[in-house]
Amino acid sequence: MAFAPRLLLPSRCPPPASAPARHGARTAPELSGPTPRVVVVTSGKGGVGKTTTTANLAASLARLSLSAVAVDADAGLRNLDLLLGLENRVHLTAADVLAGDCRLDQALVRHRALHDLQLLCLSKPRSKLPLAFGSKTLTWVADALRRAANPPAFILIDCPAGVDAGFVTAIAPAEEAVLVTTPDITALRDADRVAGLLECDGIKDIKIIVNRVRPDLVKGEDMMSALDVQEMLGLPLLGVVPEDAEVIRSTNRGVPLVLNDPPTPAGLALEQATWRLVERDAMTAVMVEEQERPKKKAGFFSFFGG
């Protein structure tokens, strides 16, 4: 296909003051690797907290004065704008950019409180991305952001549920992946399948976030622990997010959980996961729990067969 959409960007606004330090003497993580880093947040199964994770990772990056573009890659059922409180400011999308109707800087929506955070939606609600754009849609967008005068440090892509065309489009430009799952067998089976597809697409840097963990159920052997999940998927652990009622409240308010003051358990877990993402680190403290928890039940691994 031969067309060259106008993918121009303005100069970036000055960053806000650094976020308060919550990690001892260090005030910011050490950014690892060349930028921009393109990270897809995916799961396979819907409803596990993928969009919530994307919104909070992006907000936490911006709090650390690391510029981030959060991309809602769901062509028909976008929600990332709601979680960031930007639903009334999205008038142009990536589809408009690629159609030549606007520039990329016009489709990017900057967060009012977090100047280092911008949102880009793939298309408008109840509309479909023209098939002519194909799976390279976000690859063109990512390339344009890389060529900008002030490219972002991170491009976070909120992948739609499933493994169909939307999934293929979302993972196409990614170099890293954050795989979000909950500790239940249906989510884990889908996560295992998605991990295999990511590796087949050449994405080797895959880390998992285990969401909605309830320590009381883990202790009673009614829920798999984060260690169980890590052993099943065989992937590095980026974070463990506990069940937290504040997630619903923050979602309804359109304010990312990491901005809560005082911080909530889930907000702190997501902030710590952001630090590990920036430094390409993994969570190892979870191994300690094996000494304290009862012997796990058998039978979980059987769900990955067939």
- Listed by start position, the domains of the chain span 37-279
On whether 284 is known to bind a ligand per the annotation, the reply is: no
| Predicted local distance difference test score (pLDDT) of residue 136 | 86
On whether 240 is known to bind a ligand per the annotation, the reply is: no
Per-residue pLDDT of the chain in tens (306 residues, 90 and over written 9): 443 343 444 333 333 344 444 455 567 899 999 999 999 999 989 999 999 999 999 999 999 999 999 999 988 789 999 999 999 999 999 989 988 999 999 999 999 999 999 999 998 765 555 544 667 889 999 999 999 889 999 999 999 999 998 999 999 999 999 999 999 999 999 999 999 999 999 999 999 999 999 999 999 999 999 999 999 999 999 999 999 999 999 999 999 999 999 999 999 999 999 999 999 999 864 443 444 445 544 444 444 444
Q: Does domain 37-279 have CATH number 3.40.50.300?
A: yes
On whether 186 is known to bind a ligand per the annotation, the reply is: no
On whether 49 is known to bind a ligand per the annotation, the reply is: yes
On whether 47 is known to bind a ligand per the annotation, the reply is: yes
| Predicted local distance difference test score (pLDDT) of residue 149 | 86
Report yes or no: 53 and 211 within 8 Å, Cβ to Cβ.
yes
Question: How far, CA to CA in Å, does 228 sit from each of 52, 78, 133, 179, 299?
Answer: 23, 32, 41, 15, 12
| Predicted local distance difference test score (pLDDT) of residue 12 | 34
On whether 100 is known to bind a ligand per the annotation, the reply is: no
On whether 52 is known to bind a ligand per the annotation, the reply is: yes
List the structure tokens of 209: 């976030």
Report yes or no: 262 and 232 within 8 Å, Cβ to Cβ.
no
Alpha carbon distance 119, 139 (integer Å): 16
